[in-house]
Amino acid sequence: MRVIKNLSRQYSAENLRDMAIRRRMYIHLTGDVINGTISLRGDTIYAFFVAPDKQGNGIGSSLLACVEEVASTQGTNKLSVDASITAKEFYKYHGYSSVKEERDRWYGVVITMEKKLQIPG
Ligand SMILES: CC(C)(COP(=O)(O)OP(=O)(O)OC[C@H]1O[C@@H](n2cnc3c(N)ncnc32)[C@H](O)[C@@H]1OP(=O)(O)O)[C@@H](O)C(=O)NCCC(=O)NCCS
């Protein structure tokens, strides 16, 4: 319960808006409705969410493919993410491997996962 409260606080609408100013944020839209978000800073993925009623329709895969393409175009050869247990299987499905698993006091189980990227050219 505390973990969910902490995550909800960290990813409140206000914090996501502030994060979008500091980091590059990609959004999946239908008209002006936001279906999902993902953010990339350096070689790390943050703020990856698909709205619960839109999950399972390929939106998460397309957002992930988008940041992988941006990162590899920028010459990044490895992406990293601190995955929550809700997303571990999703990342595995997309070629990410677990490199570390920790129990964080505030955010519960955090699984660091990485994927090697192909650099174009
Ligand atoms: C994880 C998340 C971003 C995936 O987005 P999505 O739009 O639902 O994913 P997709 O529809 O692109 O799924 C692609 C594939 O992964 C599978 N998949 C998606 N989420 C999964 C999960 N949590 N566990 C296992 N498999 C999953 C799907 O079954 C699908 O497989 P298929 O193509 O064979 O049917 C989304 O479920 C989400 O926002 N979850 C809650 C927040 C979260 O965990 N964010 C990540 C924090 S690090």
At residue 99, what are phi and psi to the nearest 5 degrees? -115, -20
- Cβ atoms of 87 and 110 closer than 8 Å: no
pLDDT tens profile 97-108? 999 999 988 888
pLDDT tens profile 12-68? 888 888 888 888 899 999 999 999 999 999 999 999 999 999 999 999 999 999 999
Residue 62 within any structural domain of the chain: yes
Residue 30 within any structural domain of the chain: yes
Residue 121 within any structural domain of the chain: no
At residue 84, what are phi and psi to the nearest 5 degrees? -85, 165
- Tell me: pLDDT of 111 over 90: yes
- Cβ atoms of 98 and 88 closer than 8 Å: yes
- Tell me: pLDDT of 71 over 90: yes
pLDDT score recorded for residue 67: 97
Domain of residue 109, CATH code? 3.40.630.30
Q: Which of 6, 61, 90 to mutate to test the pocket of ligand 1 (most atoms within 8 A of CB)?
A: 90
DSSP string, 75-96: T--EEEEEEETTTHHHHHHTT-
Residue 82 within any structural domain of the chain: yes
Residue 43 within any structural domain of the chain: yes
Nearest CA to ligand 1 atom 17: 90
Domain count, the chain: 1
Residue 68 within any structural domain of the chain: yes
Radius of gyration of the chain from Cα atoms?
14
Pocket of ligand 1 (CB under 6 A): 48-50, 55-61, 81, 83-84, 86-87, 89-90, 93
Q: Supply the range of the domain harboring residue 111.
A: 2-116
- How far apart are the CA of 21 and the centre of ligand 1, in A? 26
